[in-house]
């Protein structure tokens, strides 16, 4: 929740490969600092001809002087991550020391360092000498509970070697190539972690293709993430491909630094060396790595993407690195994690889940349970695992569509996996929402494609930490439209935004923005257009393809054309070929499948370079907030109006805002029909997670117990069984009655009179000063206008208040309108003796003072 700035590395310090590590102090423990932080913290960094490590005894707030850990005659190149053993010995590995690879070791809390080469006895008993790595590939080491050191490295021939030391690096044994058993010819980015004395894991990227893997033009290997694990102290290793169906990179990987790699036609230094391995509290391995091949095209054999998407691989089963948590396998599968459950229509639901750990025995199928009450699920169906196999990707895509549900009914689901050992557990239960019966009108889609998706203004967020309150107009979606050009055989999506600048400016705390329009095509596949900004020229880049709702990204990407219209209600239009989005028939009549089904739109923000940085999981905005817009098709002519037209829902609410708990009276009496039917049912959804109310009366009251902004909606049904199709909603603001400020004071002032200065009002006054930590709520307020005085035109408020410590104060507030300076505010606080104890003058702006009736 809070962070304390550190001074950084001690002086002198290097400029590259900074690394921080911590662990126990080595005996004797340093003296002279009180209180001593429980563990030593080391900051190491690399310079041109040496490297420095500095010790902190206060938890990393300050560091002592940087101490050289080797000189030019001992080591060169780049070093790896500093790590501390349970006995306080400190290790910094290096790829080029004394003719091979080595490690700098300190046994006196970083005061002195000794370079120890990695050479000794190989697994076959013969002598071995490690060779410097190819390019700038730093080695890694893991330290077991008993101090055993496992040193993993890329040997001079490009292979994956690991050696073991039981005497702090003075001698090494059991050196071996852990990739030879699966014919790995080249590896890079070695990372090692250890647990119990005889257990360690070695992660790296590897390929079975031999040759110079840094040759951009001639190397065509396919790279995967591999993990080699030992349970016998490094005598043998079990090496697995952790990404068998999803390559990490295709082609070359450049490890030669910025100058040499910069000469390549495409940046194949995209992965850098941003990779590491660790273990959780149960000893299960976790590897973080950058993924350079993320699109469906690349995964299935197409050109490399050259991305660097942050990815995590987690061990899901088998033995970890802590023996105390070992389980006996084979056993029943783990519980599937349900990723999504949503209604496709009033009579169908789709469930998506992740394939769980198989327990050491292949999963044979999944059981789907369903019920109409919590805990009352019974077996609905059993699906064999083979049904999910996709031969084009050689992988399994697990999902199920239940088309046997009834409208107006809520369902509960749970999913279990089955193998030869039996049925596993389920992970929670998941429920659907209620739904009205579908409209009986034959016109179930829009014929003109205009504003098939609508969304209220002001509901976009800024996901960047520390950027609350930033302007979000540029990502605030108002509407989405579709159109087509029959001659050019193209489809155009148009997104309308609250305010769009040109050139584009990402919202506060972010570097780039992604605008998606998503729909399901006539062929049943999900498609999307994407406008991403800023590209290297500072403008938008346009693309389209199939859409993956699991990660909200394009799974295939193709170039598109597009344009923007800047300003208020600005638009982004993207044009794509009909052949690339399901090739819908144009025009489409009411008897055919619409060209666009279940449309919606998303905006996301990211950090880092466009296409290569991180993207926030939380959307800036979704339109509509829930569900989908109207389906769309190009019609030859509007169909004649049906005999039974849909009723029109109309909703009023009183009051629209107030202090929580807030009771609101809803009235749907003005809802109407145009065909002589009467309205027989009203469905009120209050938008706060409570169950919708379906009743025959048009009026209802509801209490919002928690502060927040809520969207209440109304749907009606007439005596002919037809449901309303229009949007009838009201936005309710349940306010916080008493707010305390935190954080720094906004330079703009952040004070306001949000009530009307032209009328006499009473209520409660909430005040906070973030900078001074002052806040109080009044017991009462009387607001009135003065006249006939020098300060005519000013509104004055005074009364009694209570501070956070429950002491009483008197306050006086005057707000004046000034044509030169705008609205200004004087706030003055007195103690009971009449002495001024606080005063503040500021512009009136959105923020901290409000009258709550």
- Map residue 578 onto helix, strand or coil: helix
Which whole number is the average pLDDT over 33-46?
88
Q: Are 551 and 564 in contact (CB under 8 A)?
A: no
Alpha-carbon span 11 to 55, nearest angstrom: 11
Q: Are 137 and 96 in contact (CB under 8 A)?
A: no
Residue 769 clears pLDDT 60, i.e. is over it: no
Backbone angles phi, psi at 820, to 5 degrees: -85, -50
Alpha-carbon span 444 to 454, nearest angstrom: 17
Alpha-carbon span 533 to 541, nearest angstrom: 6
Alpha-carbon span 780 to 801, nearest angstrom: 8
Alpha-carbon span 249 to 177, nearest angstrom: 22
Q: CB-based contacts of 376: which residues, under 8 Å, 6+ apart?
A: 412
So what's the pLDDT on residue 185? 98
Residue 347 clears pLDDT 60, i.e. is over it: yes
Alpha-carbon span 754 to 781, nearest angstrom: 14
Which whole number is the average pLDDT over 576-584?
91
- For residue 84, CA distances in Å to 42, 652, 844 come to 9, 66, 56
DSSP code, position 579:
G
- pLDDT tens across 694-734, in order? 999 999 999 998 877 888 999 999 988 888 888 789 989 88
% of the chain surpassing 70 pLDDT = 78
Find residue 176's DSSP bridge partners. Answer: 162
Radius of gyration of the chain (CA): 33
Alpha-carbon span 98 to 105, nearest angstrom: 14
Category of 489 on φ-ψ map: left (φ > 0), alpha (ψ -120 to 50) or beta? left
CB atoms inside a 10 Å sphere around CB 490: 18
- pLDDT tens across 230-250, in order? 999 999 999 999 999 899 999
| Residue 555 pLDDT level (bands cut at 50, 70, 90) | confident
Residue 460 clears pLDDT 80, i.e. is over it: yes
So what's the pLDDT on residue 797? 57
Residue 758 clears pLDDT 90, i.e. is over it: no
Highest mean pLDDT among 499-508, 642-651, 671-680, 822-831: 671-680
- For residue 247, CA distances in Å to 300, 302, 303, 732 come to 9, 11, 12, 49
The token duo for 15 is 């400029």
Which secondary-structure segment (H or E) carries 95?
Answer: strand 90-97
- Beta strands, E only, 233-384: 238-241, 249-250, 276-279, 285-291, 309-314, 337-345, 348-354, 363-371, 378-384
Q: Are 56 and 41 in contact (CB under 8 A)?
A: yes
Alpha-carbon span 287 to 204, nearest angstrom: 9
Category of 447 on φ-ψ map: left (φ > 0), alpha (ψ -120 to 50) or beta? alpha
Alpha-carbon span 482 to 476, nearest angstrom: 19
Alpha-carbon span 179 to 238, nearest angstrom: 10
Top pLDDT among 588 and 13 is at 13
| Residue 645 pLDDT level (bands cut at 50, 70, 90) | confident
- pLDDT tens across 155-180, in order? 999 999 999 999 999 999 999 999 99
The token duo for 798 is 């005074």
So what's the pLDDT on residue 763? 46
- pLDDT tens across 85-106, in order? 999 999 999 999 999 999 999 9
Which secondary-structure segment (H or E) carries 298?
Answer: helix 296-299
pTM over 0.75: no
- For residue 217, CA distances in Å to 194, 212, 255, 499, 518 come to 38, 10, 15, 46, 37
- pLDDT tens across 114-153, in order? 999 999 999 999 999 999 999 889 999 999 999 999 999 9
- Map residue 24 onto helix, strand or coil: coil
- Map residue 188 onto helix, strand or coil: strand
Alpha-carbon span 165 to 197, nearest angstrom: 11
Q: CB-based contacts of 676: which residues, under 8 Å, 6+ apart?
A: none
Alpha-carbon span 798 to 183, nearest angstrom: 83
- Map residue 88 onto helix, strand or coil: coil
Residue 69 clears pLDDT 70, i.e. is over it: yes
So what's the pLDDT on residue 393? 58
Highest mean pLDDT among 139-143, 352-356, 371-375: 139-143
Residue 753 clears pLDDT 50, i.e. is over it: no
Residues in the chain, total: 853
So what's the pLDDT on residue 389? 76
Q: Are 123 and 174 in contact (CB under 8 A)?
A: yes
Residue 642 clears pLDDT 60, i.e. is over it: no
If you search the block for the tokens 């005894």, which residue do you land on? 57
């Amino acid at each position: 929740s809070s962070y304390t700035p550190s001074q950084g590395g001690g002086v002198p310090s290097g400029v590259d490969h900074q690394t921080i590590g911590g662990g126990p102090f080595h005996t004797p423990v340093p003296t002279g600092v009180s209180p001593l932080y429980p563990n030593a913290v080391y900051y190491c960094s690399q310079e041109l001809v040496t490297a420095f490590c500095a010790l902190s005894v206060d938890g990393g707030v300050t560091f002592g002087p940087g101490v050289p850990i080797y000189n030019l005659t001992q080591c060169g190149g780049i070093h790896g991550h500093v790590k501390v053993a349970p006995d306080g010995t400190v290790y910094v590995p290096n790829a080029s020391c004394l003719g091979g690879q080595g490690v700098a070791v300190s046994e006196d809390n970083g005061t002195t360092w000794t370079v120890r080469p990695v050479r000794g006895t190989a697994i076959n008993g013969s002598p071995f000498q490690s060779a410097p790595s190819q390019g700038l590939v730093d080695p890694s080491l893991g330290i077991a509970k008993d101090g055993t050191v496992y040193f993993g490295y890329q040997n001079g021939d490009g292979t994956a070697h690991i050696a073991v030391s039981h005497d702090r690096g003075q001698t090494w044994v059991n050196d071996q190539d852990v990739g030879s058993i699966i014919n790995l010819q080249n590896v890079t980015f070695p990372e090692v972690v250890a647990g119990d004395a005889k257990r360690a894991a070695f992660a790296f990227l590897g390929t079975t293709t031999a040759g110079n893997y840094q040759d951009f033009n001639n190397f065509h290997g396919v790279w995967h993430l591999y993990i080699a694990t030992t349970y016998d102290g490094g005598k043998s290793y079990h090496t697995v491909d952790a990404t068998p169906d999803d390559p990490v990179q295709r082609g070359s990987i450049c490890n030669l630094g910025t100058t040499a790699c910069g000469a390549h036609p495409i940046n194949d230094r995209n992965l850098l060396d941003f990779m590491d391995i660790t273990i959780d509290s149960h000893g299960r391995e976790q590897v973080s790595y950058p993924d350079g091949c993320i699109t469906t095209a690349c995964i299935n054999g197409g050109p490399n993407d050259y991305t660097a998407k942050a990815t995590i691989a987690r061990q899901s089963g088998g033995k970890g690195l802590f023996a105390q948590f070992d389980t006996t396998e084979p056993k029943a599968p783990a519980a599937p994690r349900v990723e999504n459950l949503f209604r496709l229509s009033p009579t169908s639901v789709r469930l998506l889940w992740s394939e769980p750990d198989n327990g050491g025995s292949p999963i044979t199928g999944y059981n789907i349970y369903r019920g109409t009450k919590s805990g009352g699920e019974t077996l609905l169906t059993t699906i064999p695992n083979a049904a999910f196999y996709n031969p084009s990707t050689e992988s399994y895509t697990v999902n199920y569509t239940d088309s046997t549900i009834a409208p107006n009914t809520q369902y509960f689901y749970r999913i279990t996996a089955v193998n030869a050992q039996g049925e596993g557990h389920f992970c929670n239960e998941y429920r659907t929402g209620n739904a009205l019966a579908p409209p009986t009108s034959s016109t179930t889609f829009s014929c003109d494609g205009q504003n098939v998706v609508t969304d209220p203004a002001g509901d976009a967020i800024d996901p960047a930490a520390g950027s609350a309150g930033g302007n979000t107009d540029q990502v605030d979606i108002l509407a989405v439209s579709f159109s087509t050009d029959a001659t050019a055989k193209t489809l155009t999506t148009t997104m309308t935004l609250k305010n769009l600048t040109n050139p584009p400016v990402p919202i506060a705390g972010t570097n780039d923005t992604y605008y998606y329009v998503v729909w399901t095509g006539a062929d049943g596949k999900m498609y999307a257009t994407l406008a991403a900004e800023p590209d290297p020229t500072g403008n938008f880049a346009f693309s389209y393809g199939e859409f993956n709702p699991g990660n909200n990204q394009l799974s295939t990407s193709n170039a598109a054309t597009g344009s923007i219209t800047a300003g208020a209600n600005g638009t982004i239009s993207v044009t794509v070929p009909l052949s690339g989005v399901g090739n819908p028939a144009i025009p489409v009549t009411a008897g055919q499948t619409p060209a666009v089904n279940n449309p919606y739109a998303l905006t996301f923000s990211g950090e880092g370079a466009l296409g290569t940085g991180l993207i926030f999981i939380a959307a800036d905005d979704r339109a509509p907030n829930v569900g989908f817009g109207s389906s769309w098709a190009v019609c030859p002519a509007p169909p004649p109006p049906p005999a039974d037209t849909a009723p029109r829902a109309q909703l009023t609410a009183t009051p629209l805002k107030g202090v929580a708990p807030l009771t609101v009276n809803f009235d749907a009496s003005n809802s109407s029909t145009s065909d002589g039917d009467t309205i027989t049912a009203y469905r009120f959804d209050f938008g706060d997670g409570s169950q919708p109310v379906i009743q025959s009366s048009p009026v209802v009251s509801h209490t919002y117990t928690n502060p927040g902004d809520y969207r209440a909606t109304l749907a009606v049904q007439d005596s002919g069984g037809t449901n309303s199709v229009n949007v009838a909603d009201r936005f309710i603001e349940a306010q916080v009655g008493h707010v305390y400020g935190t954080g720094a004071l906004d330079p703009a002032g952040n004070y306001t009179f949000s009530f009307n200065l032209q009328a006499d009002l009473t209520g409660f006054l909430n005040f906070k000063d973030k900078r001074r930590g002052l806040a109080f709520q009044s017991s009462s307020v009387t607001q009135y206008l003065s006249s006939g005085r020098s300060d005519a035109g000013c509104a004055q408020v005074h009364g009694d208040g209570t501070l956070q410590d429950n002491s009483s104060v008197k306050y006086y507030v005057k707000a004046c309108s000034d044509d030169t300076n705008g609205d200004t505010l004087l706030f003055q606080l007195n103690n009971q003796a009449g002495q001024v104890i606080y005063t503040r003058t500021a512009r009136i702006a959105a923020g901290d003072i409000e009258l709550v009736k």
